[in-house]
Structure 1
């Protein structure tokens, strides 16, 4: 009986700690996911695929003199986009819109480079950047990189890029145009984003990875 009581006490303690940990993760999810560095000058700005606030902020940083080069991720073109284009509807690819944003905000075409072509995840982006730097498809003198993404993506993006390119110095920043909400669970757009981002973090830390080469 004593053994059973001890096991039940242990189970109760584990359950209580699990509930407390879940509560902390729930209420402080934005602070946990949001991990940024102090801005300083670098050799290049890498802007990841996703929200269009990212290239807007990358252009801001370029114009403020933080780096002389902007490296743009080329995400995969999904089948539905290809279908629209085949119909003759001028649906631009994401990297093409990124390019227009950068040019509109004063970044010269000669200072914009692209990497990848079928990037569908942050891991794809990190591995393609490494590959093209290694193969000298991008300037080889790039040592320090400002990584621009959305605020709630900064923690995972920084971890992935530092793991993939340990010889590079990354300065991870989130664009200032997407507010990090305290009561995130009340926002229609932020709530699913945080849940998905938290899940992706757990998946990555457990050794999982989404790559375009493994997706059907």
Structure 2
């Protein structure tokens, strides 16, 4: 009995602490997922794959003179897109849309480069960018979604050479509602981002070289 009572007390305390931590994470997840840096000029703007607001903001930064070139991720091509294109239906690849957005927003074609061939994760993008960087690039502005900034910053700072300064910024075109769990776009993004962050922190990783496409 002398052992059981303290043990039950400890279990109860841990349960309460877990519930409180879960409540904090639930309500403040968007704040915890965001960690942006102060914007300043750099040698290149790096656009991560995903939402189309990212190249829009990258073009804004280029046109304001924050960097002289843009490096954009070339994401993996999903099987369903290939299936549609096999029917001679023109369904653009994501990197093609990124390119067209940048061109429409007056970024010269010679100032746009792509890195990777089938990037499937932020880690994949960081590793592919590391392989592409030249010694002349000593600083980058990393453009992504606001709620992806913390994880993206952690990963890129771990993967890229320590002499490369990384300035992480979130696109202002994406606004997270205060009651994010009631929004059909924000809710799945937040939940998935929390899961991806925890997965990475516990040593998990997705790489195109380790994945198979059905």
TM-score (normalised: structure 2): 0.96
Post-superposition shift, 1:87?
Answer: 1.2
Corresponding position of 1:172: 168
Moved more, 147-156 or 178-187: 178-187
Residue equivalent to 1:132 = 132
Q: Which residue of 2 aligns with 1:136?
A: none
2:154 matched residue in structure 1: 159
The alpha-carbon deviation at position 76 of structure 1 amounts to 1.0
Report Cα offsets for 1:89-133 as digits up to 9, x if no partner: 111111111011001101011111110011011111000001122
Question: In structure 2, what is the equivalent of residue 32 of structure 1?
Answer: 32
Q: Check whether the contact 1:47–1:73 (CA below 8 A) recurs between aligned residues.
A: yes
Report the equivalent of 1:104: 104
Q: Counterparts of 1:9 and 1:162 in 2: how far apart (Å)?
A: 41
- Is contact 1:30-1:181 (8 Å) kept? no
- Where does residue 142 of structure 1 map in the other structure? 137
Report the alpha carbon displacement of residue 181 of structure 1 after superposing the two structures with TM: 2.0
> What stretches of structure 1 move > 2 A for 4+ residues in a row?
none
Give the Å deviation of 1:166.
Answer: 3.7
Report 1:60-139 matches (<5 A). Answer: 60-133=60-133, 139=134
Distance 2:106 2:81 in 1: 28
> CA RMSD, aligned part only?
0.9
Count of aligned positions = 211
Counterpart selection for 1:205 from 201, 210, 214: 201
Q: Which residue does the alignment assign to 2:2?
A: 2
Matches of 2:179 and 2:2, distance apart in 1? 44
User: 2:3 is paired with a residue of what secondary structure?
Assistant: helix
TM-score of the superposition, structure 1-length normalised?
0.95
| Contact 1:46-1:148 within 8 A present in 2 as well | yes
